[in-house]
A and B are shown apart, each in its own frame.
Chain A
Amino acid sequence: MINAIWVFMIFAGVVVAALNGRMELVTNAVLNGAKQGVVVCLGLLSIMVFWLGLMKIAEAAGLVQSFAKVLYPLARFLYPSVPKDHPAMGSIVANMSANMLGLGNAATPLGLKAMRELQDLNPDKEKASDAMCTLLAINTSGLTIIPATVIGLRLQYGSTNPTEIVVSTLMATLLATTTAVLLDRYYRSRERKRWGGGP
């Protein structure tokens, strides 16, 4: 499906530009898009290096493990395929908490760490495992308690009550995340039925 979306975006873009006689827009868009990709990577690099360092300390001090215990029942329910004491469980829980606190910058490195540890458990290194799909579903639906960036922007644009949207955001994100988890389960069981067995 990702292949289809990718081809569609490029093909539709070129066709529309051709019909409008604005082909130069496509050339610029390619250059800008590629540049943006590298810029995003560099932005991510600085925060990745920092958080992975900090998390190593937290891990060595046993903080990740004790924090994991609190959210453990929820994580156990969401990721039944991850063994109890595997390091991936700690990273998954840390990623979940960073998301909830609206620490987007911290959530990504932790999520990537969880991915790397889930890859160790994955029998087929090119195919996403069940737990990886769940991690993705939860992260794409973005479970947030404090949407810090949005609050900041509202303040900047002169809102009289910037935090007014906290409750509505929480309700909407809970609905979206629940839907994501249910869909993740649904498509997995459908895949199992179709192919029998499964990874």
Chain B
Amino acid sequence: MMGLVQVIAAWTLPVIIAFIPTYAYFFRKIPVYETFIDGAKGGLPTVIKLMPHLVGMLVAVSVFRESGALDLLISALNPLLVPLGVPPEFLPMALLRSISGSGSMAIMTDIFQAHGPDSFLGKLASTMQGASDTTLYVLTVYFGSVGIRNARYAVKVGLLADLASVIASLAVVHLIFH
């Protein structure tokens, strides 16, 4: 099972990358290289459009984290959450998950280092990292790339879904591994 999943994870992308041009060239007679260049041209304008959004958001996230404000928020929330079965080491990661994917990944590797990936905490961190995405990043990039200013209820939904994934990860890991 483990070997199989490893193989699937390693093979999916290369197989897709090889299959698409091969099929298009041999079975559909498509000028694959010219078609590739034509599509690839769209990359630069999209990324340029969203650069201001990413810079603005990451500056705010960085100020919030580096100043110690995030730590303060964590220590304020801990007394409320520990009785509910939330390990204190897990909270910073849960809070960071929505605003910085690389940040929560860094905390996950800290947890792996300190407690081991096979500990309860390690499994919990792995599950949560895999079970959700960085809401603020997705929001910034997706809406930023097409110039949407009014996100309506999307921010609320994204953050509540993150809360749901934290609760779901806690519940599932308690259920399966305890």
Q: Write the residues of chain A forming the contact surface with B, with a CB cutoff of 8 angstroms.
A: 1-2, 5-6, 9-10, 12-17, 20, 22, 25-26, 28-30, 32-34, 36-38, 40-41, 44-45, 48-50, 52-63, 101-103, 106, 108-109, 111-113, 115-116, 118-119, 124-128, 132-133, 135-137, 139-142, 144, 146-155, 157-169, 171-173, 175-177, 179-180, 183-184, 187-188, 191
Residues on A with beta carbons closer than 8 Å to the beta carbon of B177: 168
Q: State the CA gap A24–B155 with chains docked (Å).
A: 31
- Is the CB–CB distance between B142 and A136 below 8 Å? yes
- Is the CB–CB distance between B145 and A140 below 8 Å? no
**Closest partner residue, chain A, to B59 (CB atom):** A33
Given contact pairs A16-B68, A147-B126, enumerate 16 new A-B contacts (beta carbons under 8 Å). A12-B67, A14-B67, A22-B68, A29-B65, A33-B62, A49-B44, A52-B43, A57-B32, A102-B9, A112-B141, A116-B145, A132-B148, A146-B9, A151-B5, A176-B165, A179-B160
Q: List 13 A-B contacts (CB under 8 A).
A: A5-B136, A6-B56, A20-B68, A30-B62, A50-B43, A54-B39, A57-B35, A57-B39, A136-B139, A137-B158, A148-B9, A172-B172, A180-B164
Residues on A with beta carbons closer than 8 Å to the beta carbon of B47: 41, 44-45, 48
**Closest partner residue, chain B, to A153 (CB atom):** B109
Decide: A108 near B141, CB < 8 A? Known: A154-B112, A172-B131: yes
Pick the residue among A50, A53, A62, A152 that contacts B28 (CB under 8 A).
Answer: A62
B81 CB–A CB distance under 8 Å: no
Range of interface residues on chain B?
35 or more
CB distance from B137 to the nearest CB of A (A): 8
| 1/0 contact string of B133-145 vs chain A (CB within 8 Å) | 1111011011101
Residues on A with beta carbons closer than 8 Å to the beta carbon of B150: 124, 126-128
| 1/0 contact string of B32-45 vs chain A (CB within 8 Å) | 10011111111110
**Closest partner residue, chain B, to A120 (CB atom):** B146
- Is the CB–CB distance between A154 and B117 below 8 Å? yes
B2 CB–A CB distance under 8 Å: yes
